Structure 1
Amino acid sequence: MAIHTEKPSEDRSSRRWIRKRIDQLDAERDYAEIVKLSTAYYLNQFQGDWAFAQSMPRFNIGPSATAIYRAGRGKLHTNSDRRADDTTSHFLTWVEYGPESPQVKRSVDIINALHAKWAKEYPAEFEDPDLWTYVIAWEVCGTPVLLRDRLGFPEPSEKEKTAAVIFGKKLAELFVYVDGRPLPEVMPALDTYEEWADFVRAYEARPWEYDSATEECVTQVLEIFERRFSLPFRSFARALVTSFWHDGMFRCARVARPGRFISGAARAYMKVVLSVGRILPDPKITFSEKLKRKAAQTGEPLNPILKSTQVDVEPVAGQCPMGFGGGATALR
C-alpha cells in the first residue's frame, strides 16, 4: 500500500518545472495533476485540431457513424467548426480539472444527456460496449500509443502510466451506458496501461468494412483540418492526418492512402513539431488557460463548453466527444 505524504508546493520558475513537479507527486493520489502536467501545458491550437482529426474518425468507423452523420443533419456537417471546437473543449476540460472535479462532472452530464436523446432515435448505434471502451482507452493511451508506434517516441514514465489508468477509470465512472448502467459495468477489466494499449490495438485491428456514413463523417473531418491548416498544398495537410491512420480507417471510409514520399514528409514534420514543444522551456499555463485569457482580453466569446463547464455558469449547448449530439438546450 502506498504511503501518502504531504504534497509539496508547486514551483514553476525553472525551465523544466513540469518534470520536477511530476517527480514530486504520487501517482495514485495526484493522478489528475500528473495527467494535466503531462498533457494540458503542451497543447496548442494546431495540436488540438490534429488530435480531433485523429480521434474523431476513429470513433466514426463502423455503425456509430450513422448517429453522427444523421443523414447530413449532424452538427459535424451543419456547423463543423463548432463541432470540432466543442469536442476539443470537452477534452481540455477533462485534462485541466480531472474526473473528480465539478467541471468534468458537468461536462460528462452534458454528454450523457445527449447520448440519452439520440439513443432514442439510433438505439443500435450506441450498443457496442467496445466502442465506449475504445473512447475511454483513447483518453488513457491513444495518442502515446500512436506516437510510439508511428514516430518511435518513448512511452510515458511508469508514474504517468499509472496516473493515466486511474484517470481513465475515474472518467468512465461518470458515463452512463445506453441501458442506464454505469459504463464500467459493461467494460472489460483493464487494470494496467499495457492492457489498455493492447485493447486499442486490437480494436483498431478489427476487419472494418466500408460504411457510407463513415465516409461522410471522415471526409468532413479531413476538410475541417485542411481548412484550418492553411497551406496551399492541401494534400500535405491531409497527409498529416492520414499518415497516422490504421488500415481499417481507409477501408471503412474509402479514403485514399497518402503516397510513400508525402507520408514520410508528414511524419517527419509532426515529429519535429511535437519534439520542439518538449525542447523549449516548459509552458507556465495550459492551453485552456490561454484560450480563457484570450477571450477575456479580446472580448471574443469563449467556446460554450469551456464556459458551461465552469461551476458558476448555467450549462448551455454542448457536443459529445463521440459525435452524438445536438446540444443540451435541445433537451429542455
Structure 2
Amino acid sequence: MRRYDRLKEILRLDPERDYAEIYRLSSAYEFPWDMARALELALYRTYAVPSIGNLLARTAELTDRAQKRYDDTALLLDAVVEHGFESDDGRTAVRRINQMHRSYDISNDDMRYVLCTFVVMPKRWLDAYGWRQLTGHEQRATANYYRALGRRMGISGIPESWEEFERCLDDYEAAHFGWDEGARRVSDSTLALMASWYPRPLAPAVRGASLALLDDSLLRAFRYDQPRPLVRKAVRGALRLRARAVRLLPPRRAPHFARQNPEIKGYPGYPSGYRVGDLGTFPGKSGSGGPGGQGRSACPVPHGAGD
C-alpha cells in the first residue's frame, strides 16, 4: 500500500450511506493518535461551559476518579467506532452512555454542544497538526456519524451539516464560556491526569505544553495565565514536525483503537478484559460492581425529572 491508498478507499465510499465505515477508517487507520488528542481537547473544552463544568465537579468523577472516567469514556465511544451502531457492543455502549446522562439534569442544549465538539475539534486539530487535512468527504461522514449517535442519545435540534455543527459550537461558546470554580477544579484535575502518563519529572513540562495548546477563550474561562509565546511556538512547532514525519511513514495496515492506547490505564488491569456493559458509572447504586471495583457509586447530585 502507498501512503494515500487508504484515502482513495475512503473516497470510494458514500458519506451519506457509509459514514460509519468512513469514520472508522479515518479514526483507526489514518489518524488514531491525532483523533485521541482531538477528542481529549473536545471534551476538555466543554468544562468551560459552567453548567457542564460545575456538574462534572459535583459528580467528582473527573476529580476523584479521573483516570477511570477517562478510560470509560474513551472505551465506550470507541466501542461504537470499532463494532458499529447495530452491533451488540455498539448498542450496549450507547445504552450505557444514555443511562449515565439521564441520571443527571443535563439540558438538551449542553448535550448538543458536546456533540458539536466531537464533530468540529478533530478537523481543527488535523488542520493544524495532522499529516494531512480531512477531506470534505470525511467531514460529511463525520457529521453524519455524530448525527446518528446524537439521534440514539435522544438529542434534538442536531445540526444538519458539518458547517452547521461548527456554527453551533462557535455560537454556544461565545454565549456560554465563563468562569466557574468547580470547572476550574475539573480542568486542573484533567491536566494533572495527562501529566501522570509521563515520568514524574516531566509533569510540569507536560502541563505547560497542554496549556500552550489551549486557545485564548479557554485560558480566559479557566483564568490561566497566558503561556509564553516561545513555549507556544515550540509546542505547536513540535506537533507540526511530527506531522511531517508521519506523512513519510507507510500506511497503517491494522486498525488502532482506543483500547490499545497507552494512556488507557484501567483496561490492562482487568484480568480477563472488560465488558462494555460494566463501563462507566452507575449513579444511584452503591457497591463495588464493574471491572476494577470502581464502576458503581452513589449519585451526589440531583437527578433529572423522571429518574
TM over 0.5: yes
2:88 match = 102
Q: 1:169 aligns with which of 140, 147, 151?
A: 147
For structure 1, list consecutive stretches of 5 or more residues without a partner in the other structure: 1-12, 176-181, 310-314, 321-325
- For residues 187-213 of structure 1, what are the alpha-carbon distances to aligned partners after superposition, in whole Å with 9 as ceiling and x for unaligned? 25x222122122222223336321001
1:145 match = 124
Matched, 1:24 2:18: no
- Give the alignment of 1:194-213 within 5 angstroms: 194-206=163-175, 208-213=177-182
Q: 2:278, 2:130 → 1: CA distance?
A: 41
Q: 1:316 aligns with which of 274, 278, 290?
A: 278
Alignment coverage as a number of residue pairs: 283
- Summarize the Cα distance change of 1:231–1:327 in structure 2 as closer, same or farther, 3 Å threshold: closer
Q: 1:261, 1:248 → 2: CA distance?
A: 19
1:179 match = none
Matched, 1:115 2:101: yes
Amino acid at match of 2:64: T
1:58 match = 45
The alpha carbon displacement at 1:261 in A equals 0.4
- For residues 21-43 of structure 1, what are the alpha-carbon distances to aligned partners after superposition, in whole Å with 9 as ceiling and x for unaligned? 11322222211111111112245
1:237 match = 206
TM-score when scaled to structure 1? 0.73
Please give the root-mean-square deviation of Cα atoms over the aligned residues, in Å.
3.3
2:216 match = 247
Secondary structure of the structure 2 residue equivalent to 1:205: helix
2:55 match = 67
TM-score when scaled to structure 2? 0.79
- For residues 278-332 of structure 1, what are the alpha-carbon distances to aligned partners after superposition, in whole Å with 9 as ceiling and x for unaligned? 431111222228729xx9xxx944599x8323xxxxx214159xxxxx846879x
Contact 1:57 1:218 in 2 (8 A): yes
Larger mean CA deviation between 21-30 and 260-269 belongs to 21-30
- For residues 156-200 of structure 1, what are the alpha-carbon distances to aligned partners after superposition, in whole Å with 9 as ceiling and x for unaligned? 21211221121011010111xxxxxx212xx25x22212212222
Q: 1:39 aligns with which of 21, 27, 38?
A: 27
Contact 2:43 2:117 in 1 (8 A): no
Amino acid at match of 1:138: T
2:155 match = 183
The alpha carbon displacement at 1:155 in A equals 4.6
For structure 2, list consecutive stretches of 5 or more residues without a partner in the other structure: 283-293, 300-307
Amino acid at match of 2:45: R
- Summarize the Cα distance change of 1:158–1:43 in structure 2 as closer, same or farther, 3 Å threshold: closer
Q: 1:156 aligns with which of 112, 134, 150?
A: 134
- Summarize the Cα distance change of 1:43–1:285 in structure 2 as closer, same or farther, 3 Å threshold: same
Contact 2:28 2:257 in 1 (8 A): yes
1:9 match = none
Q: 2:32, 2:129 → 1: CA distance?
A: 20
Secondary structure of the structure 1 residue equivalent to 2:93: helix
- Summarize the Cα distance change of 1:152–1:93 in structure 2 as closer, same or farther, 3 Å threshold: closer
